[in-house]
Amino acid sequence: MKVIKRDGHMVDYCPEKIEAAIMKANQEVEEDDQASATQIKNIIKYIEKLGKKRILVEDIQDIIEMKLMSIGKYQLAKKYITYRYTRELVRKSNTTDLAIKELIDGESEYWNTENSNKNAKVITTQRDYLAGITSTDITRRFLLPEDIVKAHDEGIIHFHDADYFAQNAMHNCDLINLEDMLQNGTNINGVMIEKPHRFITAMTIATQLITAVNSSQYGGVTITLTHLAPFVRSSYERFVEKYKKRKLSKEQVEKFAKEDLQKEITDGVQTFQYQINSMTTTNGQAPFLSVCMYLGETEEYKEELAMIIEEVLKQRIEGMKNEAGVYVTPAFPKLLYILEEDNIHEDSKYWYLTKLAAECTAKRLVPDYISEKIMKQLKIDKNGDGQCYPCMGCRSFLTPYVDENGKPKYYGRFNQGVVTINLVDVALSSDKDMDAFWKIMDERLELCHRALQIRHKRLSQVTSDVAPILWQHGALARLKKGESIHELLHHGYSTISLGYAGLYECVKYMTGHSHTDNGVGKEFGLQVMRKLNDACKIWKEAEDIDYSVYGTPIESTTYKFAKALRERFGKIKGITDRDYITNSYHVPVFEEIDAFTKLKLESEFQQLSPGGAISYIETPNLTNNLEAVIEVIKFIYDNIMYAELNTKSDYCLECGYDGEILLDDDLEWYCPNCGNRDHDKLDVTRRTCGYIGKNFWNKGRTQEIHERVIHIDNKDDDEE
């Protein structure tokens, strides 16, 4: 049996430590109140008979207290509780040094699973984490008020990315203005990068720019392939000129030029894929990148754009080779496919791209889908026009914005940061009293508001010099040296996010119903969402800062919130009895519901989460049932703004099994073909929080993955 310590790392179970702890407490009480050697052994036997492969140290201590009280040793139990509290104080006396040591030792489960796309064993990631530990320490001791730190520690709110906050220059995520940088030239590390003249050169430069931008902030970034389409035409024109000089016929010139162009597109996309997945940012991982594929962004270069999209999808379907030379699913870039009239119907001109996208989703989990039709209904600018544009990273959406020339603008904009309210804690703190609930909600929202103001004020001190690639050379702006970014933080140019988590558990506790119930549960859930939006509206009008409601993708925080809730309120069935809470407005993963009902219901909540939202359905392997994928895609187009299909794409390096790697009841991954449980020889790919994760997950997220129910039947499987 393995024991999971408070910091997350695992050690071998040691009964002698249990005996020693109880004996120390024994020495503090009268002889009649002491536990006998036999009673201590019985407690140890009880723990061992549980038959667990892994157990939390807190659970062991809870069992000891319960057993001591069950045999009437109340004074001893009290002393044991005091002993635990004293040990906790000692542990907290120097948590920074301890965190650094455990990271470097490489045995901490927390650090090894903190981010499912970071490998904590490699030097680059460790350097990022070391800086993060220092930043978090400075943030806690000097930069945040005591009440906000306390609320964060207790899981009442979550102050995101404290590991980057000490550097006031850093923000969350953005839409890179690749068009400006490629067309007008840019600068990396003092080196002038002029406008490229070929597609393959543009793709190479794009990866360098993306890596540089990603290293200057801490969240996700997005580019659009539309900005690369003009360079396809440039390449074609060069090939035409080459063959014209050879005095060939017009037909021959076009034939050879098109052949050369297709090869260059293939090579350019391959270069892009290789470099994005092989480069490492200062964050210790591959660039956290999303790539938008939106035909509606251009009329002039639509044919060239379609050629790029087709090649990107084909290469993603193939996958990328791992260390063993086997094609597997890469985590990045995330692909965003915009559904529109030109590609959603069988007789649409670009229907062939949508069929490719469906095949890619079934095999490689991407692309995700944005409905142009629904988004234009929800995102209305001040001119009254509906807008469609991609998210930043996995789900963070800007609000509509019109520049001084009356034109919509999205690329070159960004998000300032996130603070998340734990809705479950609001509910439990109210003890089901509705008046108390709304009063506590107001108090917690103001706590989040003050924390967000602190984020904003630190960014307000930034000048363009701190990240020239962002502020001076076109990624986000073309400011002068030394110029403040202050104006870009106001007037709706950038957003700042009020995150939320646990809507399901909040509604369930307060009403006794899921928010999927058409009645009191759903209506209360919508009331909560409207309350968040009302708060953001008030703050925005008062401060000219674009506060926006954001469905937080809590990865490691889901486990933290779950533990904090149990510590504060105990184990409440259906509310705090799991090691995770439900992300944002989502239907809980364990609730039986069909795909179309889920997407339709969540669309109502998605529109109340304008700063960031994504819905998903969980599916079996659909590689042989593309009709089902296409049916879902068409439903997304007509019913919900942004959604994805969570398929399975795993591989066992031990036996070559190409199928779903499973989880047992002890949350251990194993190959169903050969039984392999070695993480280093299992390639497991799962959607984590809107993006793909491959480096395994913490206990809370793993339990959530284990409990996911399938939302769509695989007819092919049924027929077999």
Q: How far apart are CA 392 and CA 50, in angstroms?
A: 46
Q: Are strands 414-422 and 173-175 parallel, antiparallel or unpaired?
A: antiparallel
What the block records as the tokens of 615 is 């819905």
Identify the CA nearest to 173 among candidates 376, 381, 412, 379.
Answer: 412
Q: How far apart are CA 453 and CA 464, in angstroms?
A: 21
DSSP class per residue in 384-426:
S-B---PPBTTTB-PPP-B-TTS-B--TT-EEEEEEEEEHHHH
Q: Is 560 exposed, middle or buried (0-12, 13-18, 19+ CB in 10 A)?
A: buried
Q: Quick one: three-class SS letters along 38-86?
A: HHHHHHHHHHHHCCCCEEEHHHHHHHHHHHHHHCCCHHHHHHHHHHHHH
Which residues are tagged catalytic?
172-173, 392, 394, 396, 415, 550, 555, 690
Asked if residues 555 and 504 have their Cβ atoms less than 8 Å apart, the reply is no
Q: How far is CA 635 from CA 60, 604, 626, 638, in A?
A: 48, 15, 14, 5
Q: Return the half-sphere exposure (C-beta side, CA atoms, 13 A cut-off) of residue 668.
A: 13
Q: How far apart are CA 174 and CA 231, in angstroms?
A: 23
Give the helix ranges, DSSP H, for 229-379. Answer: 229-244, 250-278, 302-318, 351-364, 372-378
What the block records as the tokens of 385 is 């026009």
3-state secondary structure of 542: helix
